[in-house]
Structure 1
Amino acid sequence: MNYQQTYRCTRLSALMLALLLSATGCDTINVFSMSALTKKIRTKDEPTQSSEQAPDKINAIKQYNAEVIKLLKTADDALNRGDLDLAEQSFQALKTLDANHLRAAEGLRDVSARRIHLTLLDEAKSLLGKSDDQDKIAAAKLRSILVENPNHTEARALYKDLITKQDAKRAEMLRKRLSYKNPVSLQFRDVGLKVIIESLSKGTGVNFILDQEISSTQKATLFVNNVMLENAIELLAQTNQLRMKILNENSVVLYPNNPTKIREYQDLVIRSFFLEYAEPKLIGSLLTSMLGIKQVQTDDRLPMIMIKDTEDIMGLAEKLIASQDIPDPEVMLELEVLEVKRTRNLDIGATWPNQLTLISPAAGLTLRSLENINRDKIGVSPNPSVVFNGKDSDVNLLANPRIRVKNKDKARIHIGDRVPIITSNVSSTGVISENVQYIDAGLKLEVEPNISLGGDVNIKVNLDVSSIGTATKTNSGSVVYQIGTRSTNTQLRLKDGETQVLAGLISDEDRKNVSKLPGLGDLPLLGRLFSNHGDEKTKTEIVLSITPHIIREKNTPSAELAEYWIGSEAQAGRSFKAPTTQEGLAKMFTVGRPLGAPATPAAPAAAPAEKPQGLNVPLSPELSSAIERIRNIR
Structure 2
Amino acid sequence: MASMLSSHPHASPSPAARRFRPALLAVCLLAAGCAASSAVRRAGDAERRQDYDVAVVEYTKAVRLRPNDTNARLALDRAKLRASQAHFTQGRRFVSLARLDQALAEYEVASELNPSNGEIDDELRSTRNKLRTRVAVAREGKTELESLVERTRDLPPPGLDLPAGVKMPASLIFRDANSREVFTAIARLANISLIFDTAFRDQALTVDLRNASLEDSLNTVAGATRSFFRVTAPRTVAVIPDTPAKRREYEEQVVRTFYLSNADLKETMDLVRLVLDARRISPTTATNAITIQDSPERIAAAARLLAAIDKARPEVIIDVELLEVNRTKLLEYGLQIASAGTNGINGSAAIAANSAGAVTLHTLRNLTQSDVLLTAVPSLYYRLLKTDANTRTLANPQLRTTDGLQATARFGEQVPVPLTTFAPFATGGAPQQPITSFNYQNIGVNITITPRTHFDDDVSLQLNVSVTNISGTGFGGLPTFGNREINTVIRLRDGETNMLAGLIRDDERNSLEGVPGLSDVPLLGRLFAHNQKTTDQTDIILTLTPHIIRVLDLNEVDLRPFRLGRDSIAPITELPLPIEMPRPIAPPTGPTGPTGPMGVTGVTGPTGSIRF
TM-score clears 0.5: yes
Deviates more, 1:260-269 or 1:343-352: 260-269
Residue 202 (structure 2) aligns with = 219
3-state SS of 1:536 partner: strand
Check 1:245–1:370 CA distance in 2 against 1; reply closer, same or farther (3 A cut).
farther
Q: What is the CA deviation profile of residues 242-262 of structure 1, one whole-angstrom value per residue up to 9, with x for unaligned ones?
A: 221245675321123234433
Shift of 1:594: 4.5
Deviates more, 1:441-450 or 1:514-523: 514-523
Q: How does 1:74-93 map to 2 (within 5 A)?
A: none
Check 1:262–1:443 CA distance in 2 against 1; reply closer, same or farther (3 A cut).
same
Shift of 1:303: 0.5
Residue 486 (structure 1) aligns with = 484
Residue 440 (structure 2) aligns with = 438
Q: How far apart, in 1, do the equivalents of 2:539 and 2:352 lie? A: 58
Shift of 1:458: 0.8
- Matched residue type, 2:457: G
Q: How far apart, in 1, do the equivalents of 2:526 and 2:316 lie? A: 62
Shift of 1:203: 7.7
Q: 1:265 aligns with which of 238, 241, 250?
A: 250
Q: How does 1:548-563 map to 2 (within 5 A)?
A: 548-555=546-553, 557-563=554-560
Q: What is the CA deviation profile of residues 100-154 of structure 1, one whole-angstrom value per residue up to 9, with x for unaligned ones?
A: xxxxxxxxxxxxxxxxxxxxxxxxxxxxxxxxxxxxxxxxxxxxxxxxxxxxxxx
How high is the TM-score relative to the length of structure 1? 0.58
Residue 46 (structure 2) aligns with = none
Q: 1:535 aligns with which of 508, 533, 542?
A: 533
Q: How does 1:319-468 map to 2 (within 5 A)?
A: 319-353=304-338, 354-359=345-350, 372=364, 376-426=372-422, 427=424, 428=430, 430-468=432-470
Residue 506 (structure 2) aligns with = 508
3-state SS of 2:307 partner: helix
Q: How far apart, in 2, do the equivalents of 1:364 and 1:430 lie? A: 47
Kept in 2, the 8 Å contact 1:508–1:539? The answer is yes
Shift of 1:327: 0.6
Q: How far apart, in 2, do the equivalents of 1:199 and 1:313 lie? A: 29
Shift of 1:528: 4.0
Deviates more, 1:461-470 or 1:247-256: 247-256
Shift of 1:219: 3.5
Check 1:516–1:181 CA distance in 2 against 1; reply closer, same or farther (3 A cut).
same
- Matched residue type, 1:455: D
Q: How far apart, in 2, do the equivalents of 1:281 and 1:336 lie? A: 38
Q: What is the CA deviation profile of residues 216-265 of structure 1, one whole-angstrom value per residue up to 9, with x for unaligned ones?
A: xx331122345446555444433444221245675321123234433443
Check 1:331–1:197 CA distance in 2 against 1; reply closer, same or farther (3 A cut).
closer
3-state SS of 1:288 partner: helix
Residue 293 (structure 2) aligns with = 308
3-state SS of 2:301 partner: helix
Check 1:533–1:171 CA distance in 2 against 1; reply closer, same or farther (3 A cut).
same
Kept in 1, the 8 Å contact 2:176–2:204? The answer is yes
Shift of 1:340: 0.8
Kept in 2, the 8 Å contact 1:345–1:537? The answer is yes
Check 1:247–1:343 CA distance in 2 against 1; reply closer, same or farther (3 A cut).
same
Shift of 1:377: 4.0
Shift of 1:311: 3.1
Q: How far apart, in 1, do the equivalents of 2:431 and 2:286 lie? A: 51
Shift of 1:359: 3.2
Q: 1:182 aligns with which of 144, 169, 174?
A: 169
Kept in 2, the 8 Å contact 1:269–1:309? The answer is yes
Q: How far apart, in 2, do the equivalents of 1:254 and 1:458 lie? A: 55
Q: How far apart, in 2, do the equivalents of 1:471 and 1:265 lie? A: 80
Q: What is the CA deviation profile of residues 276-305 of structure 1, one whole-angstrom value per residue up to 9, with x for unaligned ones?
A: 100122222222322332222222321111
Check 1:201–1:569 CA distance in 2 against 1; reply closer, same or farther (3 A cut).
closer
Kept in 2, the 8 Å contact 1:298–1:304? The answer is yes
Q: How far apart, in 2, do the equivalents of 1:302 and 1:535 lie? A: 67
Q: How far apart, in 2, do the equivalents of 1:444 and 1:180 lie? A: 67
User: What is the count of residue pairs matched by the alignment?
Assistant: 410
Q: How does 1:96-175 map to 2 (within 5 A)?
A: 171=158, 173-175=160-162
Kept in 1, the 8 Å contact 2:324–2:539? The answer is yes
3-state SS of 1:219 partner: coil
Check 1:553–1:493 CA distance in 2 against 1; reply closer, same or farther (3 A cut).
same
3-state SS of 2:334 partner: strand
Q: What is the CA deviation profile of residues 413-467 of structure 1, one whole-angstrom value per residue up to 9, with x for unaligned ones?
A: 2222222222334452532322322222222111111111111111121111112
Shift of 1:518: 2.2
Q: How far apart, in 2, do the equivalents of 1:208 and 1:416 lie? A: 80
Residue 12 (structure 2) aligns with = none
Q: How far apart, in 1, do the equivalents of 2:393 and 2:238 lie? A: 81
- Matched residue type, 1:568: G
Residue 23 (structure 2) aligns with = none
Q: How far apart, in 1, do the equivalents of 2:455 and 2:284 lie? A: 31
- Matched residue type, 2:350: I
Shift of 1:188: 4.0
Residue 282 (structure 1) aligns with = 267
Q: How far apart, in 1, do the equivalents of 2:518 and 2:472 lie? A: 33
Shift of 1:310: 3.2
List gaps (5 residues or longer) in structure 2: 1-147, 339-344, 425-429, 581-612
Q: How does 1:20-99 map to 2 (within 5 A)?
A: none
Shift of 1:326: 0.6
Kept in 2, the 8 Å contact 1:451–1:554? The answer is no
Check 1:307–1:398 CA distance in 2 against 1; reply closer, same or farther (3 A cut).
same
Shift of 1:170: 6.3
Greater relative contact order: 1 or 2 (C-alpha under 8 angstroms, separation 6 or more)? Answer: 2
How high is the TM-score relative to the length of structure 2? 0.60
Check 1:546–1:245 CA distance in 2 against 1; reply closer, same or farther (3 A cut).
same
Check 1:364–1:322 CA distance in 2 against 1; reply closer, same or farther (3 A cut).
farther
Residue 222 (structure 2) aligns with = 237
Residue 520 (structure 2) aligns with = 522
- Matched residue type, 2:168: K
Check 1:469–1:369 CA distance in 2 against 1; reply closer, same or farther (3 A cut).
farther
Q: How far apart, in 1, do the equivalents of 2:161 and 2:514 lie? A: 103
Q: How far apart, in 1, do the equivalents of 2:157 and 2:551 lie? A: 40
Check 1:520–1:570 CA distance in 2 against 1; reply closer, same or farther (3 A cut).
same
Q: How far apart, in 2, do the equivalents of 1:322 and 1:415 lie? A: 42
- Matched residue type, 1:185: I
Q: How far apart, in 1, do the equivalents of 2:269 and 2:251 lie? A: 22
Check 1:567–1:408 CA distance in 2 against 1; reply closer, same or farther (3 A cut).
closer
Check 1:265–1:473 CA distance in 2 against 1; reply closer, same or farther (3 A cut).
closer
Check 1:234–1:485 CA distance in 2 against 1; reply closer, same or farther (3 A cut).
closer
Check 1:206–1:490 CA distance in 2 against 1; reply closer, same or farther (3 A cut).
closer
Check 1:398–1:179 CA distance in 2 against 1; reply closer, same or farther (3 A cut).
closer
- Matched residue type, 1:276: S
Kept in 2, the 8 Å contact 1:287–1:293? The answer is yes
Deviates more, 1:426-435 or 1:382-391: 426-435
Kept in 2, the 8 Å contact 1:316–1:573? The answer is no
Of all paired residues, the percent bearing the same amino acid is 24
Residue 56 (structure 1) aligns with = none
Shift of 1:271: 1.2
List gaps (5 residues or longer) in structure 1: 1-160, 580-584, 597-634
Q: How far apart, in 2, do the equivalents of 1:434 and 1:306 lie? A: 52
Shift of 1:527: 2.8
3-state SS of 1:397 partner: strand
Q: How far apart, in 2, do the equivalents of 1:546 and 1:203 lie? A: 68
Kept in 2, the 8 Å contact 1:502–1:544? The answer is yes
